[in-house]
Amino acid sequence: MQIIDTHSHLFTEEFFSDLPEVVERAREAGVSRIYMPNIDASTVGDLLRVCRTYDGYCLPMLGLHPTSVGAAYQAELEQMKPLLDDAEHPFVAIGEVGLDLYWDKTYHREQEDALRQQIDWALAYNLPLVIHCREAFDELYAVMCDYRHTSLRGIFHSFTGTHEEARRLLSFEGFMLGVNGVLTFKKSALPGVLTSVPLERVVLETDSPYLTPVPYRGKRNESAYIKYTLAHLASVYGRDMEEVAKMTTENAKKVFEKG
């Protein structure tokens, strides 16, 4: 059984002391590939170091996370964009990018501008887009509607929305919904919402070191724990784990390998 973790930050300081063991546990759990979204200009070095160490297993994305967007966001984007033309660093996606109005709305306009610029990167380089959205669904949807008739494809990372929000996101035919450990939480409404989402539009992720699934909730997350989300997802759809692993793996390949 092979599983793809479409979203894991194994390059952050939480993994500095035991990354080899973390990767080995992921392999033992059946994780065949880990896609790793960038955070900002300061994290690119660590991201690429890990991806070089685990070449072909850990695959890098390039992007500016919305919570990292500040007054100097334009300079940061200009610092990162030339890396897309550097053959030494073959980025496989633009991410993670998006809108986050949960913590602070000060830079809402700047977040939207940064998102649009990075959407342009994705289109120009024929790369998928991995989108973060928190407390900004309507704002994000309005931006995405401007690109509905383009070749844009990607993942709406960490989907935890309503039936209606799922319907609206699924109208973007090139996109999948990313599902992680939130699915396993006792009070999560996500299992019910997913009953209206075709399995053909779902990919698995961990968002390590965050959003750790039950039974390890409250501890550091890691890619090996994706198997617990897989088990819950299989239960939601009434299918066996191997079938769901195969389907979500194929879905991830459609996003990342199409180009």
Q: What pLDDT is recorded for position 258?
A: 72
Q: What pLDDT is recorded for position 53?
A: 97
| Residues, the chain | 259
What's the CATH number where 191 sits?
3.20.20.140
Q: Is residue 16 packed enough to be buried (19+ CB in 10 Å), middle (13-18) or exposed (0-12)? A: exposed
Token pair for residue 194? 């997913």
The residue segments making up the domain with residue 36 are: 3-256
With the C-alpha atoms ordered 106, 112, 115, 117, is the resulting torsion angle positive or negative? negative
Encode the chain (259 residues) as per-residue pLDDT tens digits. 999 999 999 999 999 999 999 999 999 999 999 999 999 999 999 999 999 999 999 999 999 999 999 999 999 999 999 999 988 879 999 999 999 999 889 999 999 999 999 999 999 999 999 999 999 999 999 999 999 999 999 999 999 999 999 999 999 999 999 999 999 999 999 999 999 999 999 999 999 999 999 999 999 999 999 999 999 999 999 999 999 999 999 999 999 987 5
* φ and ψ of 237, to 5 deg: -90, -5
Let me know: does 98 contact 131? Beta carbons within 8 Å.
yes
Q: How far is CA 47 from CA 22, 82, 112, 132, in A?
A: 15, 16, 24, 18
Q: What pLDDT is recorded for position 103?
A: 86
Helix (H, G, I), strand (E, B) or coil at 228: helix
DSSP one-letter string for 121-174: HHHHTT--EEEEEES-HHHHHHHHHTTTTSS--EEETT----HHHHHHHHTSTT
Question: How many domains does the chain contain in total?
Answer: 1
Token pair for residue 222? 């890691």
Let me know: does 96 contact 130? Beta carbons within 8 Å.
yes
Let me know: does 248 contact 256? Beta carbons within 8 Å.
no
